Amino acid sequence: MESVIIKDKRFEVNIPAAKIDQRVKELGAKLNEDLKNTRPIFVSVLNGSFMFAADLFREIKMEAEITFIRVSSYSGTESTGTVKSVVGIKENLEGRTVVIIEDIVDTGDTAIYLIDELKKQNPEKVLFASLLLKPDALRHPIKIDYVGFEVPNDFLVGYGLDYDGLGRNLKDIYKLA
Ligand code: 5GP
Ligand code: MG
């Protein structure tokens, strides 16, 4: 098994680049079919989804826009724990078909937060596309409309996903060995 060392850890290939490419094309084809007659706006969640978003967006045939957001988490001043906020949305989403693009859905906390936030702008529809989904970690009853691969609860890097800021440039997806 091909492996890489990132900092103190060894990772081995879990999903090879060719398989990712093929799956991204399938998801693109599905979106082209489902969203025909709409002019969707894709919302890529930085940093992790940048590579998936670029590849998926290239498959989109209809007139479409893409924009980029970031979810910043910080500790609240009260005892409420982590507070999230969305930064970067300048577009008016009212009446639009919105497709959120994420790298991975783990607990689903981020996904549910993002869907709720974007719905505040009264879009026609909010769809969610995630390259990866960890079904066993999910703790919200949410439906991810487009999933590339369901994966077990392993820590993954590559194709946009990082370990401590590194490994995003790997073409394959690796898991902790
Ligand atoms: P959630 O809010 O669903 O628990 O977590 C979503 C975020 O956690 C992802 O967008 C990603 O940043 C991070 N994350 C979850 N699992 C992994 C993983 O296996 N590898 C990496 N690199 N990040 C992960
Ligand atoms: Mg992410």
| pLDDT at 75 exceeding the cut of 70 | no
Closest ligand 1 atom number to CA of residue 106: 3
User: Does residue 65 sit within a domain?
Assistant: yes
Check residue 78 and give its pLDDT. 52
pTM beyond 0.85, yes or no: yes
Q: Report DSSP state, residue 89.
A: -
User: Does residue 162 sit within a domain?
Assistant: no
Side chain identity at residue 75, one-letter code: S
**Å from CA of 112 to ligand 1 middle:** 14
Q: How many domains does the chain have?
A: 1
**Residues 21, 34, 55, 106: which is the catalytic one?**
106
User: Does residue 176 sit within a domain?
Assistant: no
pLDDT band per the 50, 70, 90 thresholds, residue 79: very low
User: Does residue 77 sit within a domain?
Assistant: yes
Report the chain's mean pLDDT, rounded to a whole number: 93
Check residue 85 and give its pLDDT. 83
User: Does residue 173 sit within a domain?
Assistant: no
Residues of the domain holding 74:
23-150
CA distance 85 to 77: 14
Cβ of 41 closer than 6 Å to ligand 1, yes or no, is no
CA distance 43 to 100: 5
Check residue 81 and give its pLDDT. 57
Check residue 76 and give its pLDDT. 53
| pLDDT at 70 exceeding the cut of 70 | yes
User: Does residue 130 sit within a domain?
Assistant: yes
User: Does residue 105 sit within a domain?
Assistant: yes
User: Does residue 32 sit within a domain?
Assistant: yes
**Å from CA of 65 to ligand 1 middle:** 25
134-152 pLDDT, tens digit per residue, is 999 999 999 999 999 999 9
| CB atoms inside a 10 Å sphere around CB 59 | 15
Closest ligand 1 atom number to CA of residue 157: 22
Q: DSSP secondary structure string, 13-43?
A: EEE-HHHHHHHHHHHHHHHHHHTTTS--EEE
Q: What CATH code is carried by the domain that includes residue 41? A: 3.40.50.2020
